[in-house]
Amino acid sequence: MKLLWLQASGCGGCTQSLLGAESRRGVFARLAGAGVEVLFHPAVSEASGADALALLADAADGRLEFDALCVEGALLRGPNGSGRFHVLAGSGVPMIDWVRRLAARARHVLAIGSCTAFGGISAGGDNPTEACGLQFDGAEPGGLLGAGFRAGGGLPVINVAGCPAHADWIVDTLMALAGGAFSATDLDALQRPRFYAEQLVHHGCPKNEFYEFKASAQKPSDLGCLMENLGCKGTQAHADCNVRPWYGVGSCIRGGFSCIACTEPGFEEPGHPFMETPKVAGIPIGLPLDMPKAWFVALAALSKSATPKRVRDAATADQPAMLPSIRKGPRK
């Protein structure tokens, strides 16, 4: 499977995430072992300047065959739909035109990161650049390519969402496509690969004991659950960050930071500071996706009444002061 990678309006964070996943063999050797050949990537390819433009022109005109188009970064349609806010250097042609031409030739089209999937950070605020995703504008189907777009292989745009996207989400998606083991049923309603989007960041969270007893942190350094007071959206965000730690060791929550739901459309504008939890009558507005609101409220009250002292004290401390009790005799 031959791959072209373009970088549109973004920070390059998804490329940095991908490169950070290198093992002893390297991420590109891993892809090559799965039959994925990277024809061009602006950050790592030797081709540049006229050579790079010639390669892209050959691909867009059908002279160079390729299979997968990966786009990183939002697509800038402004001003007034012209795309002139972002012209591919040296070509005089707006990036959105390059993307449209290449997408029409590709067997698979992948949106790498939430900016490319939904518009992301680039589409925040008044959005004067008219930034959007490849096939979504926020949570609404459409985007640059239109809701009806299908790549040559029959699939819509595959949204490998995240800010940045986890390296393994990118690599595993490409490997599945190369092996012919990816179909429309492997995508969720927002066209994200289900292998990571069918889980919640909450699953595998290291703070789950605190969550179960609703023992909440009061300030960023506290060990307690970050949902009630510090804006954590791990119970609402579709990703496997805590089941599949980043680079095998960490996640935002494991680092002491709240989940900001970066795999979801509109995460960039929650309507409140990221590290604050909006509430009505003391109850968080953003409740878990996997249980009814009434259940959560009832269980929260019961859980708080049963919280062990060890958990309650540790929730508002930066390290546990009391270990679980030791009982004599065999475990039954």
Amino acid at 305: S
What does the alpha-carbon distance between residue 35 and residue 176 come to, in Å, rounded to a whole number?
10
Domain assignment present for residue 172? The answer is yes
Exposure letters 16-40 (e unless 16+ CB within 10 A, then b): ebbeebeeeeebbebbeeeebebbb
Give yes or no: residues 248 and 268 share one domain.
Answer: yes
- Note down the domain range covering 64: 2-196
Cβ contact 144:123 at 8 Å: no
Beta strands in 116-222 (DSSP E): 131-132, 136-137, 140-141, 158-160
Among 52-56, 71-75, 149-153, 323-327, which stretch is predicted with the lowest mean pLDDT? 323-327
- How many independent structural domains does the chain possess? 2
What does the alpha-carbon distance between residue 132 and residue 10 come to, in Å, rounded to a whole number?
12
Mean pLDDT, the chain, rounded, equals: 93
**Angle between helix 95-105 and helix 49-61 axes, rounded to 10 deg:** 50
Alpha helices in the chain (DSSP H): 13-19, 27-33, 49-61, 95-105, 114-118, 167-178, 194-197, 208-212, 293-305, 309-315
- Region of 62 (left: φ > 0; alpha: ψ -120 to 50; beta: rest) is left
Give yes or no: residues 11 and 85 share one domain.
Answer: yes
pLDDT in tens, 291-317: 777 767 777 777 888 888 999 999 999
Cβ contact 157:17 at 8 Å: no
Give yes or no: residues 238 and 285 share one domain.
Answer: yes
Cβ contact 166:249 at 8 Å: no
Give yes or no: residues 311 and 297 share one domain.
Answer: yes
What does the alpha-carbon distance between residue 146 and residue 35 come to, in Å, rounded to a whole number?
30
- Decide if pLDDT at 158 tops 60: yes
**Nearest one of 62, 167, 49 to 106, comparing CA atoms:** 62
Domain assignment present for residue 327? The answer is no
For residue 22, name the pLDDT band (cuts at 50, 70, 90).
low
Of 174, 196, 218, which one is at a domain's C-terminal end? Answer: 196
- Decide if pLDDT at 289 tops 90: no
Cβ contact 240:205 at 8 Å: no
Of 196, 226, 250, which one is at a domain's C-terminal end? Answer: 196
Higher pLDDT, 298 or 192: 192
For residue 74, name the pLDDT band (cuts at 50, 70, 90).
very high
Domain assignment present for residue 258? The answer is yes
The count of other CB atoms within 10 Å of the CB of residue 163 is 23
Of 146, 165, 196, which one is at a domain's C-terminal end? Answer: 196
